[in-house]
Amino acid sequence: MIPGVPAPGAPLRLRDRTFDAGRLVVMAVVNRTPDSFYAPARYGDDAAADEAVARAAGEGADIVDLGGVRAGRGPVVSVEEEIARVVPLVARVRARHPDLLVSVDTWRSPVARAAGEAGADLVNDTWAGHDPELVEVAAELGMGVVCSHTGGVRPRTDPFRVQYPTDAVDPLDGVVEDVVSTVSAGAARAVSLGIDPASVLVDPTHDFGKNTWHSLHLVRRTQALVALGHPVLMALSRKDFVGETLDLAADDRLEGTLAATSVAAWLGARVFRVHDVRSTRRTLDMVASIRGERAPARAVRGLV
């Protein structure tokens, strides 16, 4: 370790690929939804979604995260409709981009099963085990899983004045304690079912069951998640806590997102779920080089 540099986060292993300290991981958001909170991420038809995947791969994504239901409030989407939106896309990605890892963003076990049978590598369970069978499906089909935290909020609902009591000096540490407890329990269950610990990601899940103060504190306390020994996923991209902090709409939140991304990466987070692949790839490569884990692509200044 380099003095003054935080310890690296745990490696990520999915399928036959391992990402260690030299490669911070970009997970590109591709939503097959008409109502995502960030309009440029809405891919309502197959052609647009296919193009988005190809673009993400070309810009340096390691994983694509395919979603069929908006996380927030909106029209009801049945299990059958979610499968129809996502699963054919999973199959096309595996056929056309064999080196690209595939994640499916769902909290429903039937969707996870259909996606896994079509070739998905990871289940991104944003709603903290709401369907307890989901992790069992992931284990059965050899997929990784994301263990998240919502503070008890149910799928597709918003938090309201949620509080996390604590005996710590900093009252905001209550949310850290609750996140650590929740994702630790989820990760332990996943491992007990046979999932490789390096394929079990932990996600503090900014904005879900949290206010802006909570989400900011979770970024500065990233090391509390890293210490759990699983790869840490940060889904920070253009979220409301960035917008409220800087008083910006979703379209203008890139710089704030990249600032939060840099801090979390410096502190040991491994995987970043993003809308802006090229910008994030460059940001993470720069952070890895400053940390001493990645060599510069070219270093001739002062030498020739």
Domain boundaries, the chain: 22-290
Per the DSSP assignment, residues forming a β-bridge with 31 are 42, 67
The count of other CB atoms within 10 Å of the CB of residue 199 is 22
What does pLDDT average to over the chain? 95
- Which class does domain 22-290 fall in? alpha beta
pLDDT number for residue 33: 86
Q: Give the CB-side neighbour count of residue 300, counting CA atoms within 13 A.
A: 3
Q: Are 230 and 201 in contact (CB under 8 A)?
A: yes
Euclidean distance between CA atoms 88 and 119, whole angstroms: 10
Give residue-wise pLDDT tens across range 72-95: 788 889 999 999 999 999 999 999
Residue pair 291/22 in contact (Cβ under 8 Å)? The answer is no
Q: How far apart are CA 107 and CA 40, in angstroms?
A: 23
Which SS3 state, helix, strand or coil, does residue 87 take? helix
pTM for this entry: 0.95
Phi first, then psi, for residue 122 (nearest 5°) are -145, 140
Q: Which helix (H) or strand (E) holds 233?
A: strand 233-234
Segments in the chain below pLDDT 50: none
